[in-house]
Structure 1
Amino acid sequence: MSASTPKKSPGFLLNLVFNIIIPTLVLSKLSEEHLLGPVWALVAALAFPVCFGLYELKQSQKVNLLSVLGIVSVLLTGGISLLQLDPAYIAIKEAAVPGLIALAVFFSQFTKYPLVKKILLNDELLDLSKLQQSLQQKNAVALFEQKLRHCAYLVSATFVLSSVLNYGLAKYLLVSQPGTPAFNEELAQMTALSYPVIALPSMLMLMVAIFYLFYQIGKVTGESVENFLRQ
C-alpha cells in the first residue's frame, strides 16, 4: 500500500461516543454549581465533538464539507449558549445547517460541480475511472447523469427532513434560559435524542439514495455493481 493512501476515518462507535455519549453525560451530570457549573460543563461537552471533528479531518487528509459544517454547527451552539441568547436561535441554527446543505445539493445540479457526486460517488468505495469507462463504452454517460440527478433530489429530501426534525426537537426541548443547569440538561436530552429521532431516519433515506444509485449503475452499465467496487 502506498504512503499516499488516505487513512480510514474513525469508526461508528467512536463517532457515537465523542459526539453523543460523552457530551450528554457531561451536560447532564456535571452542570451543577458544585461540579463544573453550567458554563464550563457546556464548554467541556462541546469540546469533545469539536476536537473529534478536527481529528477526523486530519486523519482523512482532506477537507470534508459535511465535517466542517458539523464543527461550525457545534461552535454556533456553544456561542449562542454562552452568550445566553434566546434558545430559539439554536432551533433556527439546527434547521439552517441541513437546510442550507439541501439547497446546495439541489441547486448544484444546475452547475458543473453537482455536490451529489461528492456525497455519493466515493472514490474509496467505487472505481470511478472504471465506471466512467464502462459508461462511455455503452454511450450511457448522459443517461447516468440523469439518474444521478434523481439521487440528488433524494439526498436533498434527506437534508430537508433533517432540517425539520432538528428544528422540531430543539424547539420542543430547549425552553430554559441558557447558562443554567436546566438548559444544559435540556441540551443533553437533545443531544441524546438526536441519533434516534434525527440521524436514523436521515440515514435510512440516504441509504435509499445509495441503493438507488447502485441499482442504476447496474441497470445503465449492464454489469454487476460489484465490478466497480474497490477490493
Structure 2
Amino acid sequence: MTEKKSNPFLEIVFNVVVPSGILMKLSGEEHLGSVGALVIALAFPLAFGGYELVRFRKFNFISLLGFVSVLLTGGIGLLELDTKWLAVKEALIPGLIGVGVFISTFTKFPVVKKMIFNDTVLNLTEINQRLIQNGQQADFERCLMNSNYLFASTFVFSSIMNYVLATWIVTSPAGTAAFNEELGRMTLLSYPMIAIPSMIMMMGIFYFVWRQIRSMTQLEAAQIFKAQ
C-alpha cells in the first residue's frame, strides 16, 4: 500500500501564500484590522496542520514545532510584545531542531541514518554485505556521522537567517497593521531566502551519502534503491 504524502503545493499555499496575502493586504482598519487579519492569517497554517494530522494519522515532531511556532507568533502579535521576541522565536525553532539532529549523532539512531539508510528506501542487506566484503563499514559510519553534522548545520543556517530576516524586516510595534504587513513580507521572503537554500543543502547531503554508498559498494543505483 502506497503511503499517503502531504502535497507540497498546498503546504506553500496554506502556510505561506495565503497568510502572507492576508497580513499584507487586509490588515488595515478598512478591512479586517490588525487583530482580525493576524488571527485569520494564522488560522490557515493551524487548520492545515490539523487537517494533515487527522488525514495521515501520524505524529510529526517537526509539525508540532511548526504548530507551536504559529501559536507563539500569534501570542507576540496579540499581546503586543517587543518585536525582538519575534526574532528570537524565529531563530529558536530551527535552532532546537538543529540541536536535536546534532545530539542524535551520539546515539544509535542519527537522524540522517534513520532518514536515508533504512530498508524502505535502500536494499540494506545487499549494501551491508558489500560494505563488509570491501572492509568499508567503519568508513561508511564516519560518512553518516559527518553527514549528520552537515544536516544539523542546515538548521543552524535557518536559525541565523530567520533571526536576521525578522530583525531586518519586522520593525513596527506588534499589534499594528504595519507589524502585520511586515510579518507577511517576512513569511513570503523566508521561502526563497531560507527554505529553498536549506532544501538544496539537504539534497546535496543526501546526494553525497548516495555517492559514498555507490563508491564503497560498487553497486549500481538499481541495486542500491528498492523499486517503488
Is residue 8 from structure 1 mapped to residue 5 from structure 2 by the alignment?
Answer: yes
Q: Report the CA distance shift for 1:209/1:189 in structure 2 as closer, same or farther (over 3 A).
A: same
Identify which of 143, 157, 181 aligns with 1:161.
Answer: 157
Partner deviation per Cα, 1:104-145 (whole Å, 9 max, x = no partner): 111221122222233444665444555445545655443322
Contact 1:6–1:61 (CA<8 Å) still a contact in 2?
no
Normalising by structure 1, we get a TM-score of 0.88
Partner deviation per Cα, 1:173-228 (whole Å, 9 max, x = no partner): 11111111100000010011011111121111111111101111111222123323
Distance (Å, rounded) in 1 between the aligned partners of 2:115 and 2:50:
19
- For residues 176-195 of structure 1, what are the structure 2 equivalents within 5 Å? 176-195=172-191
- Structure 2 residue runs of 5 or longer lacking an equivalent are none
Contact 1:9–1:59 (CA<8 Å) still a contact in 2?
no
Q: What is the match of residue 197 of structure 2?
A: 201
Q: What is the match of residue 228 of structure 1?
A: 224
- Structure 1 residue runs of 5 or longer lacking an equivalent are none
Q: Report the CA distance shift for 1:179/1:157 in structure 2 as closer, same or farther (over 3 A).
A: same
Cα distance, 1:64 vs. partner?
2.2
Partner deviation per Cα, 1:51-110 (whole Å, 9 max, x = no partner): 222333344432222222222212211122111111111101111111121121112211
- Which shifted more, 140-149 or 151-160? 140-149
Runs of 4+ in 1 over 3 A off after TM superposition: 57-61, 118-142
Q: What is the match of residue 172 of structure 1?
A: 168
Normalising by structure 2, we get a TM-score of 0.90
Distance (Å, rounded) in 2 between the aligned partners of 1:214 and 1:60:
29
Identify which of 93, 96, 112 aligns with 2:108.
Answer: 112
Q: What count of residue pairs does the alignment treat as equivalent?
A: 227
The percent of aligned pairs where both chains have the same amino acid is 50
- For residues 12-31 of structure 1, what are the structure 2 equivalents within 5 Å? 12-31=8-27
